[in-house]
A and B are shown apart, each in its own frame.
Chain A
């Protein structure tokens, strides 16, 4: 596709030349992808170092480095290792998970709007968590467990309802939208009939925050995202074929329904883990893949770049949320929405062309 676009009017050439041109184009594209990934990782490291130093108790960079290499004072060690490192890791992992899942959703369903927010999974997790907080008065791991359960139950319902001789994009999206409205309405109703302080706690959860992620939850998050990402990486080679449409993909020997199902199951699992730990952080799954595709170019799913961009986005948002408003630490979900949405709006206002974004 890209080759044809680059050389639209060339005279017929020898097969070997064509191969060379294709290989060169692919190489350029791959190098660009790798460059984006490396750049994103570099930004992530820089942000992480900044996040380790700044905060209510400032720790200078040299003391941070001392702590990281095993030294440092006791207070510094506590602040850096017990408070800040888990939060940074959680932000990176959650961002990576959301973005990867969003990229998979969007490329598999061929819909740039497809994201956990729109597909009802985030709302399912919210419903589970809000139910646990307001209905059962629970906290901590119980809430995370209910959120995970809620996400999976809603995902399952969407699947069962949307499945009919296979899984087709538009059907899936319609059912997902319906379920997300059901969950959203129920959450609104639960919030309206509970004690206002508790309801506010629940509202805080539904915004999404990585501030309180600690040891065991962090371990679950890390394992879930890593395993999911590895499996998606293995499966992702069918994505270019799926992007051509079901019929072409089938013609190329891809079992489209099986491939799509496997990818979506993995993406849902990753999103459910990330959401249960951090809440449904708005917009990351929608914006990070869009940004990554734009950076990488070439119309492919850009999974690796999406993952890295998502990690950077959430970490950056979390850092910004701690300092943007004096006296109020904004949950990361607020910041991702406030910085992410205008970017998308600007992008939309600027581009005249909308293919599959």
Chain B
């Protein structure tokens, strides 16, 4: 198992030690319930094994532990849901144009487009909020599935070559087909993202490390091709550079209206995979010994990743770090059971992307920073904090 991981986690962060020295870790059923297997180096893998063992066996002590934990996790999810509501409210109410909260309320209940405030809310802020929710959800969930299926803690849509695939397709559509509107890009972005993901899974196939390597290789192949087109075609570059930042603006609700079926299927697939990912965290051999058809899991996970990444990139352009940070944050909050991680990621993805968008509106006077830029700046400290924590480890 350790040889299949790209980087071995620190042997020091053994879970017994973590449980002994860190109060928060004691709430983990894994580290509390499994004192004996300290020989395993990967504490998170160990947590996962404990979680799966717990869900498999119905022994009384572990059930009691999981009972108290379930309440804690539900509380965490409730907090996440409140955060999501707050983010939505902020996204509707805050912006370059200051306005009374009552105007926002009015716009939602009894729309009056002649009022300029209400028009801003309805025509600008509602679409970007909806797009932010959809794209954030897709990214967070995609990241969760990717990390689960590759067992690679640095796996995210960007690393699997999805963003570069979408970028290349958009660049080609601008340069050779003369398409110039975000609405026109969406199918190219979707096709590019999906094509890249399919290619990566086709070559990377069964092996986690290989999947990540193939993704990196594909990115390394496509990035210079993109640059090649852009260096020769100034006009295409001029169009592309605004898409490449990653933003929730300049699109209207019709993009969501077109793409929601893909999103829905992707979400349902990802949610139904959560239990399979728990078993997969134990390694392919153990998972198949426990009766799981690992190949089928990978195929389904691949399909959901393709759908989710394609939707997110088509909606908002290439957005960095949301897909990487959200699963890590969710894992920190609710433990290593993928059923809970999935639920938390569904809430946290939109929170993060909407927060990035709102902050981007407020941080520069009378102007906006694109959500993609802010998301990177928001995500990096979170990622660093997670990386610095004791329990950082393989998955």
CB neighbours (8 Å) of A189 from chain B are 245, 369-370, 372-373
Would you give the shortest CB distance from B7 to chain A, in whole angstroms?
A: 4
Residue A345 at the chain B interface, CB threshold 8 Å = yes
Is A338 a contact of B210 with CB atoms below 8 Å?
no
Residue B388 at the chain A interface, CB threshold 8 Å = yes
What 1/0 flags go to B373-395 for Cβ under 8 Å of A? 10111011001101110001110
CB neighbours (8 Å) of B380 from chain A are 178-179, 181-182
Is B7 a contact of A199 with CB atoms below 8 Å?
no
Residue A112 at the chain B interface, CB threshold 8 Å = yes
CA distance A224 to B246 in the complex (A): 37
Is A170 a contact of B394 with CB atoms below 8 Å?
yes
Give the number of A-B contacts (CB < 8 Å).
193
Residue A173 at the chain B interface, CB threshold 8 Å = yes
Which of A8-16, A136-144, A211-219, A327-335 sits within the interface?
A: A327-335
Is A171 a contact of B387 with CB atoms below 8 Å?
yes
CA distance A355 to B6 in the complex (A): 9
CA distance A356 to B4 in the complex (A): 8
Which of A29-37, A70-78, A161-169, A230-238 sits within the interface?
A: A161-169
Is A197 a contact of B3 with CB atoms below 8 Å?
no
CB-CB under 8 A for A328 and B244, given A171-B10, A185-B320, A349-B203: no
Is A117 a contact of B320 with CB atoms below 8 Å?
no
CB neighbours (8 Å) of B370 from chain A are 189, 192
Is B224 a contact of A334 with CB atoms below 8 Å?
yes
- Which of the four size classes fits the interface of chain B? 35 or more
CB neighbours (8 Å) of A333 from chain B are 224, 227
What 1/0 flags go to B245-258 for Cβ under 8 Å of A? 11000000000000
Is B10 a contact of A168 with CB atoms below 8 Å?
yes
Is B7 a contact of A161 with CB atoms below 8 Å?
no
Which single member of B6, B228, B244 contacts A113 (CB below 8 Å)? B6
CB neighbours (8 Å) of B383 from chain A are 174-175, 177-178
CA distance A181 to B221 in the complex (A): 18
Is A170 a contact of B392 with CB atoms below 8 Å?
yes
Residue B241 at the chain A interface, CB threshold 8 Å = yes
Residue B260 at the chain A interface, CB threshold 8 Å = no
Would you give the shortest CB distance from B151 to chain A, in whole angstroms?
A: 12
Is B209 a contact of A354 with CB atoms below 8 Å?
yes
Which of B27-35, B230-238, B279-287 sits within the interface?
A: B230-238
Would you give the shortest CB distance from B264 to chain A, in whole angstroms?
A: 28
CB neighbours (8 Å) of B220 from chain A are 117, 282-283, 286, 337, 340-341, 344
Is A170 a contact of B7 with CB atoms below 8 Å?
yes
Residue A252 at the chain B interface, CB threshold 8 Å = no
Residue A81 at the chain B interface, CB threshold 8 Å = no
Q: Which residue of A lies closest to B156 (CB)?
A: A177
Q: Which residue of B lies closest to A330 (CB)?
A: B228
Would you give the shortest CB distance from A122 to chain B, in whole angstroms?
A: 11
CB-CB under 8 A for A170 and B9, given A182-B377, A204-B231: yes
CA distance A177 to B216 in the complex (A): 12
Please classify the interface of chain B as helix (H, G, I), strand (E, B), loop, or mixed, using the class held by over half of its residues.
helix
Would you give the shortest CB distance from A292 to chain B, in whole angstroms?
A: 16
CB-CB under 8 A for A161 and B387, given A170-B153, A282-B220: yes
Residue A200 at the chain B interface, CB threshold 8 Å = yes
CB neighbours (8 Å) of B392 from chain A are 170-171, 174
Residue A191 at the chain B interface, CB threshold 8 Å = yes
Which single member of A117, A199, A286 contacts B237 (CB below 8 Å)? A199
CB neighbours (8 Å) of B203 from chain A are 345, 348-349
Residue A109 at the chain B interface, CB threshold 8 Å = yes
Q: Which residue of B lies closest to A163 (CB)?
A: B388
What 1/0 flags go to A101-134 for Cβ under 8 Å of B? 0000000011111100110000000000000000
CA distance A171 to B204 in the complex (A): 24
Would you give the shortest CB distance from B17 to chain A, in whole angstroms?
A: 12
Which single member of A109, A335, A354 contacts B207 (CB below 8 Å)? A354
CA distance A204 to B231 in the complex (A): 7
Residue B90 at the chain A interface, CB threshold 8 Å = no
CB neighbours (8 Å) of B216 from chain A are 113, 118, 286
Residue B324 at the chain A interface, CB threshold 8 Å = yes
Which single member of A168, A181, A184, A330 contacts B379 (CB below 8 Å)? A181
Residue B358 at the chain A interface, CB threshold 8 Å = no
Q: Which residue of B lies closest to A161 (CB)?
A: B384
Which single member of A118, A184, A349 contacts B320 (CB below 8 Å)? A184
Give the residues from 244 to 301 in chain A that come closer than 8 angstroms, CB to CB, to chain B. Answer: 245-247, 282-283, 286
Residue B77 at the chain A interface, CB threshold 8 Å = no
Is A188 a contact of B234 with CB atoms below 8 Å?
no
Which single member of A109, A169, A348 contacts B214 (CB below 8 Å)? A348
Query: Which 3 residue pairs of A and B lie closest in terms of their CB atoms, listed nearest first?
Result: A341-B221, A337-B224, A185-B376
Measured CB to CB, the residues of A under 8 A from B are: 109-114, 117-118, 161-162, 164-165, 168-171, 173-175, 177-179, 181-182, 184-186, 188-189, 191-192, 196-197, 199-200, 203-204, 206-207, 245-247, 282-283, 286, 328, 330-331, 333-338, 340-342, 344-345, 348-349, 354-357
